[in-house]
Amino acid sequence: MQRLRVRYAKRGRLRFTSHRDISRAVERAVRRAGIPVAYSAGFSPHPKISYAGAAPTGVASEAEYLEIGVTTPCVPEQVKLGLDGSLPPGLDVLDVVEAGPGGLADRLEVSDWEVRLPGADRELAEVAVEKFLAASTVDVERLTKKGPRRFDAREAVLRLVVSEGTDRTAAQVQGRPCVILRMVVRHMTPAVRPDDVLTGLRLVADFAPPVPPEVTRLAQGPLDASTGALADPLDLDRDTTRGGEAGPAGEHVAG
């Protein structure tokens, strides 16, 4: 069975989709696009689509990943076109490769997040970030399904910087200047999410943005040990399968 790895974005107003919403939308899009998805056996067969670490409801992303098992070999580039054309605008397919050896989830070691804070004060943000980075641990509390949970939000944060841009909401309304946090966060258990870092900033320096932040995951992937930068997790597949450039011989699937 060929497996295809897909990078997709959830953008703008569709960032309010939950993980379940996305999986329904993807299943329908796969059918619409005529992708020969494989099904599990049994009484209620499920399409073989698996998801790696989905961004929370309300958080936008440029780097979400899923994997589709297909019954007949497909050309990644055509799957990309077909799937993208079948998803609603806002769920956009960015890259498709044929899976090589090794699991995808293991490669998603860190995330690069952008957190926009419309109306926040830049100086206060900088002070808070400085304090946060200076601390060795910052214990935060989050309400989980199993009740409140305390954990350290500091260790996972590899990088945290403040910059400034303009307020760009999903409605594309041009607005006021806006403080932007960029953070590179290692995936750990329990997961440290951007809102946990924001909680940390509030705890260390009383920094609280006036309106809900707009969070976007810009990238996910392995950490390049030499450069300290984020690498494309699909590069490894591309190297081993030449996926995306030339497809394997055999049947082609049209979008």
Q: Which residues are near other proteins by CB under 8 A?
A: 13-14, 16-18, 20-21, 24-25, 27-32, 34, 39, 43-45, 47, 57-58, 86-90, 169-171, 173, 175, 211-212
> Least CB distance from residue 103 to other proteins, whole Å?
26
C-alpha angle 161-166-168 in degrees, rounded to nearest 5: 105
> Least CB distance from residue 195 to other proteins, whole Å?
10
Is 29 or 104 the residue whose CB approaches other proteins more closely?
A: 29
Is 100 or 213 the residue whose CB approaches other proteins more closely?
A: 213
- CB-CB contact of 108 with 53 (8 Å): yes
Distance in angstroms (rounded) separating the CA atoms of residues 171 and 90: 12
> Least CB distance from residue 226 to other proteins, whole Å?
39
The answer for 92, left when phi > 0, alpha when psi is -120 to 50, beta otherwise, is beta
> Least CB distance from residue 170 to other proteins, whole Å?
6
Is 14 or 68 the residue whose CB approaches other proteins more closely?
A: 14
| Three-state DSSP state, 179 | strand
Is 87 or 185 the residue whose CB approaches other proteins more closely?
A: 87
Is 169 or 240 the residue whose CB approaches other proteins more closely?
A: 169
Distance in angstroms (rounded) separating the CA atoms of residues 200 and 156: 12
> Least CB distance from residue 224 to other proteins, whole Å?
33
Is 196 or 237 the residue whose CB approaches other proteins more closely?
A: 196
To 10 degrees, the CA torsion angle through 131, 132, 138, 143?
A: 120
> Least CB distance from residue 69 to other proteins, whole Å?
14
Which candidate, 88, 90, 80, places its Cα nearest to that of 9?
A: 90
**Phi/psi of residue 31, nearest 5 degrees:** -65, -45
Distance in angstroms (rounded) separating the CA atoms of residues 163 and 181: 6
The pair of structure tokens assigned to 59 is 């958080």
